[in-house]
Amino acid sequence: YEIAKSRTDIVYGGICIPERHITKGDEHLRVAQKIQQGCKFFITQAVYDDKNAKKFLDYYAKLDAPKVPIIFTFTPCGSARSLEFMKWLGIEISPKTEQELLGAQDMLAHSMKHSAKLFGELYEYGKRLGISIGANVESVAKNKTDIAAAVTLFSSLKTMI
């Protein structure tokens, strides 16, 4: 963070994990500390649960600190194996969402619709709170179908703003 103070030509960001806020209750404070040390934006771990993300945003909005953009990460999920890997990574997926994904005729398409809906909700929610919300899309799977789906999902999210 010392570099951030001396190099004004570089933009520095940080990571925030809405799920960690649910378990520890202090993610908003970590974010505030990092903002004081020069972070200009935050990228989250992949999100699939709106409740955790919104709860984090509620606490973040109440901070007496400058508000920097929060960029939520979304990832397509095309198989039960990918779903298990995502859960292993710590991505919170509600039992209801998990059952919907596993029961979908086209799991990948369903996950993309879920992510697009979630982004729309978080974008509007952040706007109401005065927080700039962005999107990052990544594939956690190695297969070409999920990787291509990440590109498609990103294109879809861009049209929503």
Report how far apart, in Å, the C-alpha atoms of 149 and of each of 11, 22, 79 are.
29, 29, 13
Cβ atoms 149, 112 nearer than 8 A: yes
The pair of structure tokens assigned to 85 is 């890997």
Question: Is the pLDDT assigned to residue 20 strictly greater than 60?
Answer: yes
In whole angstroms, give the CA distance from residue 142 to residue 85: 12
With pLDDT > 70 as the criterion, what percentage of the chain qualifies? Answer: 93
Task: State mean pLDDT over 23-50.
Answer: 87
Structural domains of the chain sorted by starting position, each given as residue range(s) with its CATH number in brackets: 2-158 (3.20.20.220)
Q: What is the pLDDT of residues 99-121, one digit of tens each?
A: 999 999 999 999 999 999 999 99
Question: Is the pLDDT assigned to residue 4 strictly greater than 60?
Answer: no
Q: Residue 64: its pLDDT value, please?
A: 86
In whole angstroms, give the CA distance from residue 60 to residue 41: 13
